[in-house]
Amino acid sequence: MPTLLVSPFIERTYRAAIEAAWPGIELLVLPADPAGRLPADALERVDFAYFSGDVYPDYSRSFFAATQGAASLRWLHTFNAGVDNPVFRRFLDRGVVLSTSSGSTAQPIAQSVIGGMLLLSRPFLRWAEAQRRRAWEPVPAAEAPPDLAGQRMTVVGLGAIGSEVARLARAFGLDVTGVRRSPRREGDPVERVEPPGRLEELARATDWLVLACPLTDETKGLVSERVLRALPRGACVLNVARGEVVDEAALIAALQDGHLGGAYLDVFATEPLPPDSPLWTLPNVVISPHNSAGGGRERAAGHGGVFPAEPRADAAGRAAGERSSRLRRIAQRCRQ
């Protein structure tokens, strides 16, 4: 009997749906106590594991202790899109099939990006500061910000998140350019697509630089000091990729000296962001603590079935491949 390792929340909420779509599956549940550990004889039965959003961060140690001790583990599905953490490399080195939930949180993350853009494009931060002082301080007409329509956005990474950001931005009248290695395809929600090697050149005509790419050897440090300084004075950076994609020290300097108009940052070079980071106190920075997809638990109840009701496969290789797509359906319902 194949065995799937899940969290108490997934077992409690989705057991019936999982068993209906996957007859014969046994669910092995993590201990309710985050400090608890499963016995070795139970771990010997684990074939598949789901690292759902509710596991992180409180149950992470329990989950990875279990999966690293599961010698028969063949496949691991994770709720998040990025798998640059070294812990995932250890599974790949063991030959475990690894699949992600890339795209399952594209809409809420893109909405957070657009929300950050709106906060920075209008005097919301200025109004909020005046409100805290109970001060009636209308923004003078001479200091009013320009309308978004006609401004230029460059989106680095046109996966599910970047594409959704581009689609929403165009609804506000922005001219959107995408950056990725492959050329423009029919249906891409951008006016044009350029390769990463042209980013510094593109930056010179960019009002909003959106980072929505995975962290790879190619993208690490992609947004260098040269790229940041190539942006027009007053441009803004919106980062939901990874902190290491940007030269963070150069970003801070450009925000402090007024070259950049502001930033919405969900990710950082060091997480949690250290209390002494200047980013905390910069008046033109909006921070979300790697939480731009927040609110998924409430949305989960509104989705359809957890697994598609289609034939199962029990052969090891085929099962891993087919069930990875099935668990992506769980992730779309259980976005934490």
- CB neighbours of 292 closer than 8 A, spacing ≥ 6? 108, 109, 112, 113, 240, 266
Q: Which of 118, 149, 120, 109 is nearest to 263 (CA)?
A: 120
Give catalytic status of residue 242 as yes or no: yes
Exactly one of 129, 137, 201, 271 is catalytic; name it: 271
Answer yes or no: are the C-beta atoms of 154 and 203 closer than 8 Å.
yes
Which residues, in sequence order, are bridge partners of residue 187? none
Exactly one of 74, 77, 180, 242 is catalytic; name it: 242
Give catalytic status of residue 11 as yes or no: no
Q: What is the 3-state secondary structure (H, E, C) of the chain?
A: CCEEEECHHHHHHHHHHHHHHCCCCEEEECCCCCCCCCCHHHHCCCCEEEECHHHCCCCHHHHHHHHHCCCCCCEEEECCCCCCCHHHHHHHHCCCEEECCCCCCHHHHHHHHHHHHHHHHCCHHHHHHHHHCCCCCCCCHHHCCCCCCCCEEEEECCCHHHHHHHHHHHHCCCEEEEECCCCCCCCCCCCEEECHHHHHHHHCCCCEEEECCCCCCCCCCCECHHHHHHCCCCEEEEECCCHHHECHHHHHHHHHCCCEEEEEECCCCCCCCCCCCHHHCCCCEEECCCCCCCCHHHHHCCCCCCCCCCCCCCCHHHHHHHHHHHHHHHHHHCCC
Exactly one of 74, 77, 290, 329 is catalytic; name it: 290
Give catalytic status of residue 132 as yes or no: no
Active site residues: 242, 271, 290
